[in-house]
Amino acid sequence: MPYPQITEYHEAVQHPQLAFIDPELKQGTVAENNLGLPLVMSGGFALTYAITTARRKCAVRCFHREIPAIQQKYDAIAKKLRALPNDYFVDFDFQQDGIKIRQNTFPIVRMDWVEGDTLGVWLDRHIDDPRGLEKARADFTGIARFLAQKGIAHGDIQNGNVMVENGRIKLIDYDGMFVPGMNAGNGSETGHRHFQHPERRVRDFGPGMDRFSFIAVDLSLQAVIEDKSLYPKFREGGETIIFKANDFADPEHSEIFGRLSAMPKLKAQAGNFATVCTAPLAAVPTLDDFLAGRNIPAAALPIKTAAAPKAKPQAKTYMPAYPVVDALDFSAALQRVGDRIELIGRIVEVKPGSRKRGNGAAKPYVFINFGSARGNNVRISIWSEGLAKMKQRPSKTWVGRWVSVTGLMDVAYENKRYGHKHLAITVYDDGQILEIDEAQAGFRLASIGKADPASTLKHPAAAIATPVAAAPTPAAAAKPKASRPGRTRSKPAAKPQAVASSPAAVAAPPPARQPAAGLPRRLLARIRGWMWIAAAVLVAAAALGAGATQLRTILASAASTELVTGAPATAPAEPHGSHRAKMVRTRE
């Protein structure tokens, strides 16, 4: 039986008294955005909603992809974690029959809500606090040691699965967790790519899964403590601290490895970590051994050092943490509704506005468009909660920038008045939007459609995004003036309608044509400009030719009439009040 998709879950959670089986959740309310649609906090195997009940606030995870033997897995995890006194995990309740959709019940996980920040957001706020960073590093070391002693592995240590609450670190999302008693090698996910060894596969499911991640986090924190300028440069929109998958795959040509190797305090550890990246996954040491210099694999190629590294050759293929989608490819984006993706495009319009719901005050929002808002398009939505966290609000100065944004592709919003459909990624935190140059955009977009056996998606079969039409190079973005903002209306719009995520449900326009690889964009722009001029000349010539033909016909007719009747021919009647009629009267 297929699992429900995001549109079905959205509709269900808006009527909790009918959807949930849990008596407490029946009386709850779901958090919504300015359009009145449920807020979705994460992707992967599950969609996470914030439900507030009379007693507490909960995170409810609704699965839209199947996890094999999910009930047995969560039963084993719950039994093990509850037997261990610790503050590293969140209390949760797995409900096999948790939510009713299509006359069937599906599993959910109800978790206690953590009132804190994800590691990425916390780092944004504490990058100037070396003491706080040192404490976080010590806490990670303690967690790594605790899990190793108990034979437990989380399976996906990364910014989004680490919460910092009142200075204490807690781990969330236990879909990929291993506990003693489970069968090793029978995994369902491979974790976030920017925190995993290049060889990580689902067959590596077992107690040693987190070793590489903890080393990466520890070395990253040491680096930003030593040089805080590394963090804003390499944070990748909050998806990592300083390392990316391409760095792990090719440490010899990695800029960040070169920077660390040039730092006396970190040179030895940077070299050791480079050998760990190139060694087999089974050779990765524990964090304690790595810090002590024990059990380090044999050294491979030396890392080039430079105090101010020059641009190094990029890897042949971009290695994204999530599927890459071209912002101009509406069809490809539509296929990814409910998935976490990396969206890349060039901004053509920044449209601020405000919306009032009920009797409350109007709340501001900003839409960032990559195509014309007067048709089906993909955009970035920033609601009032997200705007409140941004140090610099988007403005018209952003138009023309290439950006990358990672997040959940929301359900399509349909404007019934104009017949337009919009897909969007919602920005919740400052720094979630990453500005990139045109060359980097092309490098990333070129990865679309390329199969990758080392996929890090929660569902291995999903691999890299395969849209209707793959884009090998940066999308040919429309000129800013081609997408003019509509008028701001104070009257609130009608209640939005969720649009099904099936490609057949929406007649999407074909993706924009992409420029040929290697051809300079300025040359292309000039060619297109001359094409328009040539076309205009041809049209004018055709019009003049048609006019000349018509004139010759009239003169011939007039001559014929004069020959036959002896009277001059009468000119065709002019519209009343026309310019020509006025000129005739003036001459008279």
Residue with tokens 């790594």: 144
Say what the pLDDT of residue 304 is.
57
Chain segment 270-310, per-residue pLDDT in tens: 999 999 999 999 999 999 999 999 999 987 556 655 544 44
- Segment 533-560 shows an average pLDDT of 53
Give residue 24's identity as a one-letter amino acid code.
E
Question: What distances in angstroms separate CA 181 from CA 86, 147, 206, one per listed residue?
Answer: 20, 15, 10
Rg of the chain on CA atoms, in Å: 30
The CATH homologous superfamily to which domain 117-292 belongs is Transferase(Phosphotransferase) domain 1 (1.10.510.10)
Q: Which residues contact 210 (CB under 8 A, 6 or more apart)?
A: 144, 147, 153, 154, 155, 157
State residue 288's pLDDT score.
Answer: 98
pLDDT of residue 299: 74
Q: What is the pLDDT of residue 417?
A: 84
Place of tokens 């795959």: 249
Checking if the pLDDT of 388 tops 50, the result is: yes
Task: Tell me the average pLDDT across 381-401.
Answer: 94
Q: What is the mean pLDDT of residues 496-506?
A: 41
Q: Does position 508 have pLDDT exceeding 50, yes or no?
A: no
In this structure, of 73-87, 146-160, 271-285, 558-572, the range with the lowest mean pLDDT score is: 558-572
> 547: pLDDT confidence band, cut at 50, 70 and 90?
low
- At 121 the pLDDT is 95
Cα–Cα distances in angstroms (integers) from residue 241 to residues 115, 263, 323, in the given order: 22, 17, 20
Segment 80-98 shows an average pLDDT of 94
C-alpha dihedral over 290, 292, 293, 297, to 10 degrees?
-40
* pLDDT score of 529 more than 50: yes
pTM: 0.77
Q: Is the predicted pLDDT of residue 542 greater than 50, yes or no?
A: yes
At position 50, the amino acid (one-letter code) is A
Average pLDDT score over residue span 306-325: 72
Instruction: Tell me the mean pLDDT in the region 540-546.
Output: 56
Q: Over 60: is that where the pLDDT of 522 sits?
A: no
Q: Which of 454, 453, 445, 406 is nearest to 426 (CA)?
A: 406
Element (H or E) spanning 377, and its range? strand 377-382
Tokens in use for 87? Answer: 């503050």
Q: What is the mean pLDDT of residues 543-565?
A: 47
pLDDT number for residue 462: 36
**pLDDT on residue 247:** 98
Residue 187: per-residue pLDDT: 92
Q: What is the mean pLDDT of residues 332-357?
A: 94
Segment 188-211 shows an average pLDDT of 97
* Distance, CA of 198 to CA of 432 (rounded, Å): 25
Quote the pLDDT of residue 67.
87
Confidence at residue 114, expressed as pLDDT on a 0 to 100 scale? 94
Closest CA to 338 of 328, 327, 326, 323: 323
Residues 441-452, mean pLDDT to the nearest whole number: 85
User: What is the pLDDT at residue 539?
Assistant: 54
DSSP one-letter string for 213-274: HHHHHHHHHHHHHH-TTHHHHHSGGGT-SS--HHHHH-GGG-HHHHHHHTSTTTHHHHHHHH
Neighbours of 338 (CB within 10 A): 20
Amino acid at 76: A
| pLDDT above 80 for 358 | no
At residue 513, the pLDDT reads: 39
How wide is the angle at C-alpha 453 spanned by C-alphas 465 and 5, nearest 5°?
40
Band of pLDDT at residue 357, cut at 50, 70 and 90: confident
Strands (E), 113-254: 117-118, 162-165, 168-171
Could you say which architecture CATH assigns to the domain 6-112? 2-Layer Sandwich (3.30)
35-57 burial code (b ≥16 CB/10 A, e <16): bebbbbbbbbbbbbbbbebeeee
Residues 248-266, mean pLDDT to the nearest whole number: 97
pLDDT at 131 over 90: yes
pLDDT class for 503, splitting at 50, 70, 90?
very low
For residue 125, give the H/E element and its range: helix 119-126
Give the mean pLDDT of 203-228: 98
Q: Quick check: 394 pLDDT over 90?
A: yes
CA 427 from chain centre, in angstroms, equals 9
Taking each helix axis as running N to C, give the angle between helix 119-126 and helix 130-150, from 0 to 180 degrees, rounded to the nearest 10: 150
- pLDDT category, 533, cuts 50, 70, 90? low
Burial of residue 21 (CB within 10 Å: 0-12, 13-18, 19+) is middle
Picking from 30, 25, 33, the residue whose alpha carbon sits closest to that of residue 13 is 30
* pLDDT higher than threshold 60 for residue 524: no
d(CA 588, CA 586): 5
Stretch (H or E) spanning 527: helix 521-565
Mean pLDDT over each residue of the chain, to the nearest integer: 81
